[in-house]
């Protein structure tokens, strides 16, 4: 069930971003939007480099190699999903419309679904995840 839910979340995230790309509602001349998007890309790269050579799965299946709790994972449990949401919302603000807000909401709900599914799977796989989750926020450092 969790794997299927995570795939639906991934499709929502990809679909929302695809619509924004097709509508040319991603890039903006706004320095604020550009700064947020660069921050999102930097966070994504930092998270992927920290995560190492582990592969990406369409379903949020935990990988071998132990729980990663350093790098950006020291501050937030899901930095990749956080970066996707930050990038999407910055795009939305740069091209504010009902459609862009709807797509940003779809991406955020998809990320939330994927996060929830992944956390249940991680709790089953790694006994230490419970303590890590108590000390670390999900997607916004020190907030949520």
Neighbouring residues of 127: CB distance < 8 A, sequence distance ≥ 6: none
- CA-based nearest residue to 91, from 142, 139, 19: 19
- Confidence (pLDDT) at 144: 72
With cut-offs at 50, 70 and 90, classify the pLDDT of residue 107: very high
- CA-based nearest residue to 136, from 78, 75, 51, 91: 75
Mean of per-residue pLDDT scores for the chain: 92
CA 125, distance to chain mean position in Å, is 20
pLDDT tens digit sequence for 49-87: 998 877 677 777 777 778 899 999 999 999 999 999 999
Q: 139 vs 16, which has greater pLDDT?
A: 16
Q: Where are the domains of the chain?
A: 2-53+66-135
With cut-offs at 50, 70 and 90, classify the pLDDT of residue 103: very high
- Confidence (pLDDT) at 142: 67
For residue 76, the cross-strand partners are 137
Contact 137, 77 (CB under 8 A): yes
Contact 67, 126 (CB under 8 A): yes
C-alpha distances (whole Å) from 133 to each of 91, 107, 115 are 29, 23, 12
Contact 85, 107 (CB under 8 A): yes
Please give the share of the chain, as a percent, with pLDDT higher than 90: 76
The pTM of the full predicted model, rounded to 2 decimals, is: 0.91
Contact 76, 143 (CB under 8 A): no
- Confidence (pLDDT) at 81: 95
With cut-offs at 50, 70 and 90, classify the pLDDT of residue 3: confident
For residue 137, the cross-strand partners are 76
With cut-offs at 50, 70 and 90, classify the pLDDT of residue 35: very high
- Confidence (pLDDT) at 30: 95
């Amino acid at each position: 069930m969790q794997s299927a839910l995570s795939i639906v979340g991934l499709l929502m995230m990809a679909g929302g971003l695809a619509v924004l790309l097709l509508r040319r509602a991603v890039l903006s001349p706004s320095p604020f939007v550009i700064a947020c998007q660069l921050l999102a890309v930097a966070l994504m790269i930092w998270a992927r480099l920290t995560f190492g050579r582990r592969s990406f799965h369409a379903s949020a299946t935990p990988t071998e190699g132990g729980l990663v709790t350093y790098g950006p994972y020291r501050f937030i449990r899901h930095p990749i999903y956080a970066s996707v949401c930050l990038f999407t919302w910055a795009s939305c603000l740069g091209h504010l419309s009902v459609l862009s807000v709807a797509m940003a909401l779809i991406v955020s709900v998809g990320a939330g679904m994927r996060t929830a599914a992944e956390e249940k799977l991680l709790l089953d796989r790694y006994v230490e995840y419970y303590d890590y989750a108590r000390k670390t926020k999900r997607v916004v450092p020190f907030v949520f």
